[in-house]
Structure 1
Amino acid sequence: MEWKSIVPLAVFIPFISTAQNKIQERPNIVVFLVDDMGWQDTSLPFWTERTQWNNLYETPNMERLANQGMMFTQAYGCSVSSPSRVSLLTGTNAARHRVTNWTLEKNKSNDDKSDVIQPPDWNINGICQTYGIAHTYQVTSLAQILKDNGYHTIHCGKAHFGAKDTPGENPYHLGFEVNIAGHAGGGLASYSGAENFGNRTDGQKSPLQAVPDLDKYWGQDIFVTEALTLEAKKALDHAQKLDQPFFLYMAHYAIHIPIQKDMRFYQKYRDKGMTEIESAYASLIEGMDKSLGDLMDYLEINGIADNTIILFMSDNGGLAATSRSSVLHTQNSPLNSGKGSAYEGGIREPMIVSWPAKVKKQSKNDEYIIIEDFFPTILEMANVKKYNPIQPVDGKSFVPLLTGEGNPSKGRKLYWNFPNVWGPSGPGIGATCSVRDGDWKLIYYYDSGKKELFNIAEDIGEVNDCSDKRTDIVKRLSKDLGQYLRRVDAQRPTFKNTGHPTLWPDEV
């Protein structure tokens, strides 16, 4: 009897207390990813001054998030969607993982036609978790590692990691325990619940871009942005019942085309004198911002805001580079060009991080980071100290930038490789590779051998090409870029007239 009365108190109670403490020490993590959002598509200025766009758009919840955390003024993604999303989930640079353009259908490239070059045989099927799938990059995803280390993992919204009818199409296969509306599609057929989000009910085949899983909202006057937010909150209701932290990957389809009117916000922008399409675009932005605010409200109401990290990011620049005037609805000024471009307008993104008690409120960081850095950063935030993914990790944790304890960007170079033909024409669009080293950025065009050099600190709009004046820097960065691309086994196009590969930047 004495043994029974002593052992439970001495052995088991301390063990339970320790387990509870470990749970409390591990923060919840929300990645809030926006689709095609430009650096200036917000009332929150990421430049040194406000622009006319900051005065037109209304994103009060981005401002609210920035007030409780840190803004990054030089956060970079890739110039199109799938490469950025794959790099976020894998920590791998796009030059290495070779998912360099957007994916959709199995074994089908989405490259446009060129009279000069043929794009390489890139990983058109995206990523997957298993061996033997053609044209894929096998990975251990961020979600899988978090799941294996005790996190409840939720995917909500746009996936775009793998092509249709491949394992990577479904977020379940990449470590997400919950998947809401994520599939192979990178765009969406319709934002409107009244239009069933593009799904057909007449027996005809639905388009590939029809949004799945949200049939309970079909026929209703609701936007997909709102429907996804409601479903995310339901998933968080369940997550709170579990004795484990959660990872919510909230990846909105907004603000990708088609540009449709969210009537909750549309008229106010018309009243500002904006055109119909500009007002519709602005309404998509504010609808996205409302979703952010609703999730922040949820965290506060449920008493978990103080133990939840929020990382806000866009996958690529706003659609401002195209010459197709029918879809011109935004500008990235003072940045040059937009989505699909090697210029800053295609790759520089709005980014905010809120980490209660860790990140100084209302702070700003001007060091540069890149999308693959999210992978090691989030794992460090989650206190996952040991992990061994199949793929190499190129990203660097930016936790020291958040806490003020170091600068991993000092002396670092950033690299991009896009050996593809995206489609629309515009400034900086083409098969390119590029490198950022401090203030200098070199862009190399595979088809022509042309090189451009810009001092980003002095010329954020990339209008003054310094390649003729600073040949020493061009030579140094060309050598560095060429060596990097070979080291990671990157791809390059071939010339159609000869069948020979294009030259590396240090061969020109």
Structure 2
Amino acid sequence: MMKIHKLHFLLSFFAVALLSGCTPTKEQSPNIILFMVDDMGWQDTSVPFWHKKTPYNKRYHTPGMERLASEGMIFTQAYASSVCSPTRVSLMSGMNAARHRVTNWTLRRNASVDATDSILSYPDWNVNGLQPVDSIERSTYATMLPQILKDNGYFTIHCGKAHFGAMTTPSANPLNCGFDINIAGHAAGGLGSYLGEQNFGNKEKGFHSEPWGVPGLEKYHGDSIFITEALTIEAKKALDSARISNKPFFLYMAHYAVHIPLNADKRFYQKYLEMGLPESEAKYASMIEAMDKSLVDLMDYLDENKLTDNTIILFMSDNGGFSLRPRAGELHTHNSPLQSGKGSAYEGGIREPMIVKWPGKVSQKSICDDYLIIEDFYPSIIEMAGIDNFSTPQTIDGKSFVPMLLEQNNKKQERDLFWHFPNNWGPTGPGIGATSTIRSGEWKLIYYYANQQCELFNIPEDIGEHTDLAASMPDKVNELALKLGNYLRSVDAQRPTSKTTGKLVPWPDEAGDIHQ
């Protein structure tokens, strides 16, 4: 008798569904916004990502980030690569930089941007970036994150900086990378100007000029608008299209801000001048607040269109904050208490501000002190989207941080993180140079290829990396150097060559007697 009642119930359910013009479906997939900022440092916000507020947290005004943090989870130890292209390739492929070999920033096809050096020659890294096809020389082939989302029913939007692959290669156009809509994305990782009056770096009004002119925003040329605002307006229009499509959306909101040049956003500039900041720092602060206003506008859009409860927002930066000229003040200090900045293996070059809001899943005002790295976003977003049946030609190194979000991770910091930069970025400064690095629990080891020396730091006790413990703790150096060397060999990582010997520089665990 119970079976009959159950059958009657099911028949009634399907009848109602058919009469209402719909069919039973699985739980609706969440919308996802990945809000990626360029060159934003760990301290470029009024949200403290440390155990206390610092002078920089008091300088900047980011109410959008404060709002997001109050509604989600802060990650105090989120890491990326020290420069942009390695980060973005890891993000879109799930691979560590040592494996994908896009270890410096990309621009022109088959052309390396490595600066020359008197000590080292640099390897033939993948200067053409990440590609959706396997036919492009000196590139890494992968199924990119938006393609997986698109293949699983998502409406995918790219807005802002792409920088996936070199000029004239397929991935220079985000439409070849799994995006349904591309707004202003192309091969370059920077721009000539943030100002509409200057045509966003294009030489002529109404036209696109490579490499530093931003494409696709010609209707704003000659206007007084700041590009951060223009991109936000266009992103909301694209979200309108997504709503019409009746699909869940993935918006990759990848701002050009706050990369140089330093241009003042007039909406916010004056108040920072009145705070007594030097002109360049007032410009930078206005760019930070303009970026934050974009976040506010997108969150308001979700509220207005009743999308908030089913939309995940992930906030992240691609590398440490820029701490060179034209920034004012002492160089390499703009991310204090972290040492150095963009391009450095020190924390100032790789530790990022990260926040995740997942309504109904992530506790509000929560904090995660465990560490993660940029390639972890790939499997995490796929899991958050509810996708469990996919395949890729690439090996995925990233590990999902969903257990951290759901506070299910009871074994913290047992995993090792790796960075690999066998290149010459150009600038000089603390931690800047050809390096390989491991973070293992509270310990961090940096290996410098130029002098084949190691530095060892206890990060929780010495967040500024001021006390090198390598000489006093040779056993720990040996342990971490072996782990680092084994990992680099396992992924067939590249190494610089010594100009003195003509041979490849030794691996970290093979570098003479420095670990004895």
TM-score, normalised by the number of residues in structure 2: 0.94
Contact 2:74 2:354 in 1 (8 A): yes
Residue 431 of structure 1 corresponds to which residue in structure 2?
434
Q: Does 1:412 align with 2:418?
A: no
Per-residue CA deviations over 1:433-487 (Å, capped at 9, x if unaligned) read 0000000000000111010000001000000000011111100000010000000
Residue 279 of structure 2 corresponds to which residue in structure 1?
276
* Cα 1:394/1:202, change in 2 over 3 Å: closer
Q: Partners in 2 of 1:68 and 1:373 — Cα distance?
A: 22
* Cα 1:392/1:266, change in 2 over 3 Å: same
Contact 1:322 1:425 in 2 (8 A): no
Q: How far is 1:124 from its partner?
A: 0.2
Q: How far is 1:173 from its partner?
A: 1.0
Q: Partners in 1 of 2:129 and 2:20 — Cα distance?
A: 47
Counterpart amino acid of 1:340? G
Q: Does 1:160 align with 2:166?
A: no
Residue 492 of structure 2 corresponds to which residue in structure 1?
489
Residue 97 of structure 1 corresponds to which residue in structure 2?
100
Matches within 5 A, 1:421-460: 421-460=424-463
Residue 251 of structure 2 corresponds to which residue in structure 1?
248
Matches within 5 A, 1:305-344: 305-320=308-323, 331-344=334-347
Q: Does 1:18 align with 2:24?
A: yes
Q: Does 1:9 align with 2:33?
A: no
Q: How far is 1:14 from its partner?
A: 9.2
Residue 78 of structure 2 corresponds to which residue in structure 1?
75
Structure 2: runs of 5 or more not aligned: 1-10, 512-516
Residue 370 of structure 1 corresponds to which residue in structure 2?
373
Q: How far is 1:168 from its partner?
A: 1.4
Counterpart amino acid of 2:174? P
* Cα 1:9/1:289, change in 2 over 3 Å: same
User: Sequence identity, in percent?
Assistant: 59
Q: Partners in 2 of 1:38 and 1:295 — Cα distance?
A: 22
2:60 equivalent among 51, 57, 61:
57
Contact 1:193 1:222 in 2 (8 A): yes
Matches within 5 A, 1:388-407: 388-407=391-410
Contact 1:321 1:337 in 2 (8 A): no
Q: Partners in 2 of 1:184 and 1:202 — Cα distance?
A: 20
Q: How far is 1:410 from its partner?
A: 3.5
Q: Partners in 1 of 2:261 and 2:411 — Cα distance?
A: 39
Q: How far is 1:408 from its partner?
A: 6.6
Q: Partners in 2 of 1:82 and 1:409 — Cα distance?
A: 29
Q: Does 1:206 align with 2:236?
A: no
Aligned CA RMSD, in angstroms, stands at: 2.1
Equivalent pairs counted in the alignment come to: 501
Q: Partners in 1 of 2:389 and 2:404 — Cα distance?
A: 21
Structure 1: runs of 5 or more not aligned: none
Q: Partners in 2 of 1:67 and 1:281 — Cα distance?
A: 25
Residue 302 of structure 1 corresponds to which residue in structure 2?
305
Counterpart amino acid of 1:16? C
Q: How far is 1:219 from its partner?
A: 0.6
Residue 471 of structure 1 corresponds to which residue in structure 2?
474
Residue 514 of structure 2 corresponds to which residue in structure 1?
none
Q: Partners in 1 of 2:225 and 2:129 — Cα distance?
A: 31
Contact 2:206 2:221 in 1 (8 A): no
Q: How far is 1:18 from its partner?
A: 1.6
Comparing 225-234 with 6-15, greater Cα deviation is found at 6-15
Contact 2:281 2:328 in 1 (8 A): no
Q: How far is 1:390 from its partner?
A: 0.9
Contact 1:321 1:341 in 2 (8 A): no
Per-residue CA deviations over 1:55-101 (Å, capped at 9, x if unaligned) read 11100110000000000000000000000011011110000000000
Q: How far is 1:498 from its partner?
A: 2.7
Q: Partners in 2 of 1:344 and 1:483 — Cα distance?
A: 23
Q: Does 1:233 align with 2:236?
A: yes
Per-residue CA deviations over 1:252-295 (Å, capped at 9, x if unaligned) read 00000000111110111111111000000000000000000000
TM-score, normalised by the number of residues in structure 1: 0.95
Contact 2:159 2:183 in 1 (8 A): yes
Q: How far is 1:388 from its partner?
A: 0.7
Contact 1:313 1:351 in 2 (8 A): yes
Comparing 325-334 with 207-216, greater Cα deviation is found at 325-334
Comparing 172-181 with 324-333, greater Cα deviation is found at 324-333
* Cα 1:92/1:453, change in 2 over 3 Å: same
Q: Partners in 2 of 1:335 and 1:203 — Cα distance?
A: 43
SS in 2 for 1:309: strand
